[in-house]
Protein backbone atom coordinates (compact mmCIF):
# COMPACT_ATOMS: atom_id res chain seq x y z
CA UNK A 1 0.00 0.00 0.00
CA UNK A 2 1.27 3.47 -0.89
CA UNK A 3 1.78 6.11 1.72
CA UNK A 4 -0.28 9.31 1.24
CA UNK A 5 2.79 11.13 -0.06
CA UNK A 6 3.50 8.42 -2.64
CA UNK A 7 -0.06 8.48 -3.99
CA UNK A 8 -0.07 12.30 -4.28
CA UNK A 9 1.62 13.34 -7.57
CA UNK A 10 2.37 16.79 -6.11
CA UNK A 11 4.01 15.50 -2.90
CA UNK A 12 7.51 16.13 -4.17
CA UNK A 13 7.08 19.58 -5.76
CA UNK A 14 9.10 21.35 -3.08
CA UNK A 15 12.17 23.08 -4.56
CA UNK A 16 14.34 21.44 -1.89
CA UNK A 17 13.15 17.91 -2.70
CA UNK A 18 15.37 17.34 -5.77
CA UNK A 19 17.16 14.03 -5.60
CA UNK A 20 18.58 12.81 -8.92
CA UNK A 21 17.53 9.24 -9.62
CA UNK A 22 19.62 8.58 -12.72
CA UNK A 23 22.82 9.79 -14.26
CA UNK A 24 22.28 13.30 -15.48
CA UNK A 25 22.16 13.72 -19.30
CA UNK A 26 24.72 15.75 -21.18
CA UNK A 27 24.03 19.50 -21.14
CA UNK A 28 22.04 20.97 -24.00
CA UNK A 29 22.42 24.60 -25.01
CA UNK A 30 18.84 24.59 -26.35
CA UNK A 31 17.45 23.34 -23.03
CA UNK A 32 19.63 25.82 -21.11
CA UNK A 33 18.33 28.65 -23.31
CA UNK A 34 14.69 27.68 -22.70
CA UNK A 35 15.26 27.48 -18.95
CA UNK A 36 16.85 30.95 -19.10
CA UNK A 37 13.76 32.15 -21.02
CA UNK A 38 11.55 30.67 -18.28
CA UNK A 39 13.58 32.47 -15.60
CA UNK A 40 13.30 35.77 -17.48
CA UNK A 41 9.57 35.23 -18.00
CA UNK A 42 9.05 34.67 -14.27
CA UNK A 43 11.24 37.67 -13.37
CA UNK A 44 9.13 39.95 -15.56
CA UNK A 45 5.72 38.27 -15.22
CA UNK A 46 2.65 40.35 -14.53
CA UNK A 47 -1.08 39.71 -14.72
CA UNK A 48 -4.15 40.43 -12.57
CA UNK A 49 -3.16 37.78 -10.02
CA UNK A 50 0.62 38.08 -9.85
CA UNK A 51 3.14 40.85 -10.46
CA UNK A 52 6.80 39.98 -9.99
CA UNK A 53 7.88 43.58 -9.46
CA UNK A 54 5.30 44.11 -6.74
CA UNK A 55 6.25 40.80 -5.07
CA UNK A 56 9.98 41.73 -4.94
CA UNK A 57 11.06 38.14 -5.63
CA UNK A 58 14.57 37.14 -4.61
CA UNK A 59 16.69 35.08 -6.99
CA UNK A 60 16.22 32.10 -4.64
CA UNK A 61 12.44 32.50 -4.92
CA UNK A 62 12.63 32.71 -8.73
CA UNK A 63 14.77 29.57 -8.73
CA UNK A 64 12.26 27.86 -6.44
CA UNK A 65 9.39 28.78 -8.76
CA UNK A 66 11.27 27.37 -11.76
CA UNK A 67 11.87 24.11 -9.89
CA UNK A 68 8.24 23.84 -8.76
CA UNK A 69 6.95 24.56 -12.28
CA UNK A 70 9.19 21.89 -13.83
CA UNK A 71 8.21 19.40 -11.13
CA UNK A 72 4.53 20.20 -11.76
CA UNK A 73 5.04 19.50 -15.47
CA UNK A 74 6.70 16.18 -14.59
CA UNK A 75 3.90 15.23 -12.16
CA UNK A 76 1.11 16.05 -14.63
CA UNK A 77 2.77 14.66 -17.76
CA UNK A 78 0.78 12.12 -19.74
CA UNK A 79 0.81 10.48 -23.16
CA UNK A 80 -1.71 12.88 -24.68
CA UNK A 81 0.41 15.85 -23.66
CA UNK A 82 3.63 14.25 -24.91
CA UNK A 83 2.14 13.17 -28.24
CA UNK A 84 0.81 16.68 -28.88
CA UNK A 85 4.19 18.25 -28.14
CA UNK A 86 5.98 15.63 -30.24
CA UNK A 87 3.72 16.44 -33.18
CA UNK A 88 4.45 20.16 -32.71
CA UNK A 89 8.20 19.48 -32.52
CA UNK A 90 8.14 17.37 -35.68
CA UNK A 91 6.12 20.00 -37.55
CA UNK A 92 8.60 22.70 -36.52
CA UNK A 93 11.51 20.51 -37.67
CA UNK A 94 9.72 19.90 -40.96
CA UNK A 95 9.28 23.66 -41.54
CA UNK A 96 12.97 24.28 -40.82
CA UNK A 97 13.97 21.61 -43.36
CA UNK A 98 11.60 23.09 -45.97
CA UNK A 99 13.03 26.58 -45.37
CA UNK A 100 16.58 25.30 -45.80
CA UNK A 101 15.63 23.62 -49.10
CA UNK A 102 14.38 26.86 -50.53
Which residue, among 22, 6, 27, has the nearest Cα to 75 in the 3D structure? 6
Which residue, among 17, 68, 76, has the nearest Cα to 42 in the 3D structure? 68
| 51: β partners | 46
Backbone angles phi, psi at 31, to 5 degrees: -65, -45
Report pLDDT for 20.
57
Q: Print pLDDT tens along the chain (102 aa).
A: 444 444 455 555 555 555 556 676 777 999 999 999 999 999 999 999 999 999 999 999 999 999 999 999 999 999 999 999 999 999 998 887 666 666
Report pLDDT for 14.
59
Q: What is the pTM of this model?
A: 0.65
Cα distance between residue 97 and residue 102, in whole Å:
9
Amino acid sequence: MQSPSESDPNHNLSPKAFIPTKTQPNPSTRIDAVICDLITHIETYSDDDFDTQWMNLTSAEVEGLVIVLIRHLIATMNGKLLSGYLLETRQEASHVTEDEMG
